[in-house]
């Protein structure tokens, strides 16, 4: 590996983005909410990995199958002499499909808020792809996206799998796609998007029989207890994840099972019996509705791939 560019650039979270600030600000709102970015501490990331392997959670294996099946066509659209920029902590299994299919990748730039995750990525990939230039970047991809150009300006290709775009409300999703588009400087974006489907299928995916999604949701409370000395009893909250067909999204909540008062960092929060705390939205699109959204963000949508059951989609978008 060429280590000259593999130094981790570090920004660190601004004070208003820390878990303690985000949690207490969200619980002070009416209705109460906790931002879904706080799911992903170490325990939460492991729980999410387990979700990805659940039989009900069709998204991960369907997306992997799409990537394998269409790798040659995707590689042709991407072209060669490119820099691949991955937005957020992805599964290395997914990006490897691209690294193996695309000819002559100049650099791989994984962008994530977790330095530990990036260190692991660099170690694993450096061993397997010794000729690849790795330049991990510690950054929040929802913020400004400034990347130093590589010598010779290879075409920039964004990779944003896993339908993480669905966790943003449509207006915020368009804004995020717009910032990604600007950072790609005329390149392209390969993005995975979950599709609207039978609500029963969606409901099962977010209410799995093994209870892993419930544990993932309640990990927010466990994390608050561990990191901030809060006194949540996770058993006094229920995991609730209905599908909202009007907004085309799964909504996740933690519902207080009784009247209770919780102390976090010296602040008191009262919960009524049956009071919900909103923890996540996961929007579902049709291929057409997503292409329309991408167009609003300044992309020209080109190819789109889906599976036989039309569960999940991959899109190739060109930056205007």
Residues comprising the chain, all counted:
320
3-state secondary structure 172-202: HHHHHHHHHHHHCCCCEEEEEEEECCCHHHH
Size, binding site for ligand AVI by CB under 6 A: 10
Site string for ligand AVI, 267-306 (x = CB under 6 A): -------------x-x------------------------
The structure tokens listed for 92 are 């290395």
Q: If you search the block for the tokens 């799995």, which residue do you land on? A: 208
Distance CA 150, CA 236 (A): 52
Distance CA 188, CA 183 (A): 10
Q: How far is the CB of 211 from ligand AVI (least distance, A)?
A: 12
166 interacts with ligand AVI by CB under 6 A: yes
Distance CA 139, CA 254 (A): 29
Nearest partner of 44 among 251, 224, 243, judged by Cα: 224
Q: Which stretch binds ligand AVI (CB under 6 A): 94-102, 160-168, 222-230, 265-273?
A: 160-168
Q: How far is the CB of 89 from ligand AVI (least distance, A)?
A: 10
Site string for ligand AVI, 40-79 (x = CB under 6 A): -----------x----------------------------
Nearer to ligand AVI, 102 or 173 (CB): 173
Distance CA 298, CA 184 (A): 11
Q: Dmax over Cα atoms in the chain, in whole Å?
A: 62
Nearer to ligand AVI, 19 or 206 (CB): 206
Among 60, 62, 109, 163, binds ligand AVI (CB under 6 A): 163
Q: How far is the CB of 1 from ligand AVI (least distance, A)?
A: 29
Among 44, 162, 187, 188, binds ligand AVI (CB under 6 A): 162
163 close to 315: Cβ distance less than 8 angstroms: no
Site residues for ligand AVI, 186-215, by CB under 6 A, read 206, 213
Provide the binding-site residues for ligand AVI, judged by CB under 6 A.
Answer: 51, 162-164, 166-167, 206, 213, 280, 282
């Amino acid at each position: 590996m060429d280590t000259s560019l593999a130094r981790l650039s570090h920004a660190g979270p601004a004070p208003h983005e820390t878990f303690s600030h985000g949690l207490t600000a969200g619980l002070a709102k009416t209705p109460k909410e906790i931002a879904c970015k706080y799911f992903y501490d170490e325990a939460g990331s492991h729980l999410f990995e387990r979700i990805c392997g659940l039989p009900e959670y069709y998204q991960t294996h369907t997306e992997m199958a799409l990537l394998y099946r269409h790798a040659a066509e995707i590689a042709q659209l991407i072209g060669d002499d490119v820099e691949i920029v991955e937005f957020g902590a992805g599964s290395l299994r997914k990006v490897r499909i691209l690294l193996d299919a695309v000819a002559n990748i100049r650099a791989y730039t994984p962008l994530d808020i977790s330095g530990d995750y990036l260190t692991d990525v660099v170690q694993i990939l450096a061993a397997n792809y010794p000729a690849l230039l790795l330049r991990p970047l510690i950054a929040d991809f929802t913020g400004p996206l400034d990347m130093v150009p590589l010598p010779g300006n290879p075409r920039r290709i964004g990779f944003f799998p896993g339908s993480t775009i669905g966790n943003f409300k449509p207006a915020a999703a368009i804004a995020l796609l717009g910032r990604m588009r600007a950072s790609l400087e005329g390149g392209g974006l390969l993005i995975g998007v979950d599709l609207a489907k039978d609500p029963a299928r969606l409901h099962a995916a977010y209410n799995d029989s093994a209870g892993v999604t419930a544990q993932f949701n309640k990990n927010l409370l466990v994390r608050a207890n561990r990191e901030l000395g809060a006194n949540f009893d996770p058993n006094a909250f229920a995991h609730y994840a209905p599908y909202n067909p009007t907004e085309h999204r799964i909504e996740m909540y933690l519902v207080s099972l009784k009247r209770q008062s919780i102390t976090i960092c010296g602040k008191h929060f009262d919960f009524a019996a049956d009071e919900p705390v909103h923890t996540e939205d996961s929007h579902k699109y049709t291929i057409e509705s997503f292409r329309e959204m991408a167009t609003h963000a300044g992309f020209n949508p080109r190819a789109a791939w889906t599976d036989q059951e039309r569960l999940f989609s991959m899109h190739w978008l060109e930056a205007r």
